[in-house]
Every structure is written in C-alpha cells, then in structure tokens.
C-alpha cells in the first residue's frame, strides 16, 4: 500500500466519506486527526503537507492541538543560521505552527516574552513593532495572549490556497522573527 503511506484512504459508505487513519511513512504513526471529520479539511491538510514536502521542511503533526509544528534554527544577528553556528550564543530555536481551519490556515510563531521587556522600553518596542508592520508588507507582529508574548502570524484563505500563496505567507513568519532580532531587539538591547 505505497499510496497509503502518504495519503489517507477513503471508504464510501452510504454516501458519506469516512477517513480511515493511515500510517505516515516518516512519522510511523497515525497522522489524520479525527477532528477533521469532513473531506474538505482532509484535503486542506493533505495540501499543506504536500507544500511542506515541496519546501523540504521537516514537520510534526500535533494531533492534540491540531497543528503542524516546524522547528527552526535562527541567529540574533545578520548571519544566516547554519549547522556550524548552532552552538553559538547568538543562535536559538523556535517553533512555527500551521493551523488549518474551516476557512483559514494560520501560520504563527512566538517571538519574545512580553514580560521580558523592561517597563521603560515597552512603549518604544510596541511602536517599533507597529512601524515594522507598516514598513514590511509581509511582517505582522501581534500579541499572543495565551503565551503572553509578542508573536508573528500570517493567515491564508483556504478558498484561494495554492503553493505560491502558501510559500509566501509561510516564509513571512520566520522572516519576521529574523527582523525582530536583527532590528527591534538589537535597537532596544533585548536578549
């Protein structure tokens, strides 16, 4: 069942499409979340998986939260992250989440804990975040109330989802994280 390694198997039963969990070759575990009930969300889920594969991204499906998780390595300076700089004091790892929904796909990441910003710098940091939102077309900084941190996110309508749109919106999130560290954090001395 080679095809079942990458796709979900569907059974037609009295006019309803029922998704049967399959085993993903890479993860060696069920990947189709039970909460995706309808075939439309299963199609979106498969579409996102294909796009991530085209981008050669390593990802994990978190069934409990209903999100794809991708771990990125980055640096807090202008130098690109690489294996040779991973143990460097300026290197760090963070997670990008992709959450498929009924009408939207959301891509987001936590950037910096709000409580770590000194009180006397909070206003100017917020103004610089708003300025970055205006200055860079694909940067969108926000506040993640659940985690209490500055975040960055992009949203895509499922109706118009294609590879070019996905790639542009998806890659805008790590780009915004890099911009935060190379411009805003650097300017305000945030560690």
Residue 14 lies in a domain: no
Residue 68 lies in a domain: yes
- The total domain count for the chain is 1
Residue 3 lies in a domain: no
Residue 163 lies in a domain: yes
Q: Which long-range contacts (CB under 8 A, 24 or more apart) does 55-60 make?
A: 55/167, 55/170, 59/98, 60/27
Residue 178's domain comprises 58-188
Q: Is the pTM of this model over 0.75?
A: yes
- Looking up residue 138, the CATH number of its domain turns out to be 3.30.1460.10
Banded pLDDT at 97 (limits 50, 70, 90):
very high
Residue 5 lies in a domain: no
Tokens of 65: 């939260």
Residue 117 contacts residue 143 (beta carbons within 8 Å)? no
> Pairing relation of β-strands 16-20 and 60-62?
unpaired
Residue 32 lies in a domain: no
The pLDDT tens digits of the residues spanning 143-187 come to 999 999 999 999 999 998 999 999 999 999 999 999 999 999 999
Residue 151 lies in a domain: yes
């Amino acid at each position: 069942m080679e095809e079942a390694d990458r796709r979900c198997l569907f059974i037609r039963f009295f006019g309803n499409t029922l998704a049967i969990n399959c085993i993903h070759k890479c993860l060696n575990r069920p990947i189709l979340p039970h909460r995706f009930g309808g075939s439309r969300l299963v199609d979106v889920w498969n579409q996102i998986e294909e796009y991530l594969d085209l981008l050669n991204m390593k990802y994990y499906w978190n069934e409990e939260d209903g999100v794809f998780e991708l771990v990125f390595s980055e640096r807090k300076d202008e130098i690109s992250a690489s294996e040779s700089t991973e143990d460097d004091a300026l290197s760090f790892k963070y997670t990008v989440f992709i959450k498929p929904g009924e009408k939207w796909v959301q891509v987001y990441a936590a950037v910096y804990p709000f409580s770590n910003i000194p009180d006397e710098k909070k206003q100017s940091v917020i103004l610089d975040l708003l300025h970055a939102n205006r200055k860079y077309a694909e940067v969108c900084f926000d506040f993640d109330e659940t985690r209490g941190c500055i975040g960055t996110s992009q949203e895509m309508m499922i109706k118009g989802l294609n590879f070019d749109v996905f790639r542009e919106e998806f890659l805008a999130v790590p780009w915004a994280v890099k911009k935060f560290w190379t411009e805003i954090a650097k300017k305000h001395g945030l560690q």
